[in-house]
Amino acid sequence: MATTYSTEANGPLNTIPATNAEGSVVGGRMRRFRASITLASQAAADVIVLAEIPAGSVFAYGVLNTDTSLGSSTVAIGHSSDADIYRSAATFTATNTPTMFGRALGMAEGALSAATQVNVTIAAATMPASGSLVIDLYFSNG
């Protein structure tokens, strides 16, 4: 029998998840994959490899940080099956401000069935001529 809790605003809450989480999520080890990109006027439609993620890993979140505004260029983060599964193409103008990202779709993707190359795809405009962009990817694995 499920235990329920009641709150004034929301009523009863069922504490048993509809499906059990994978072992790589519950009790899995969090691993960070860091990519440091030197900005050098990379063109729109360029694809930059960020990391090779091992099979069995599950996406948790990512962090963007740059010392130079990316201006009107947009970046999407994903893999060959879905170029923006982890971050939809968007501008990033906050400098020296680590900013988390993560799409629900990427988090719900489940464990990777094979080692997977994660990429950033540049869209809309050329990247700045100089500066640094750091992208940390966090994946759990059992």
The model's confidence at residue 15, banded by pLDDT at 50, 70 and 90, is low
Q: Out of 5-14, 16-25, 74-83, 91-100, which region has the weakest mean confidence (pLDDT)?
A: 5-14
User: 12 in a domain, yes or no?
Assistant: no
**Which residue segment(s) compose the domain that 97 sits in?**
25-141
Of residues 25 and 130, more confidence is placed in 130
Mean pLDDT of 43-55: 96
User: 14 in a domain, yes or no?
Assistant: no
User: 71 in a domain, yes or no?
Assistant: yes
Number of domains in the chain: 1
- What pLDDT is recorded for position 142? 73
User: 2 in a domain, yes or no?
Assistant: no
Q: At 82, which CATH number? A: 2.60.120.220
User: 49 in a domain, yes or no?
Assistant: yes
27-37, pLDDT tens digit by residue?
789 999 999 99
The alpha helices in 20-109, defined as continuous H runs, are 104-107
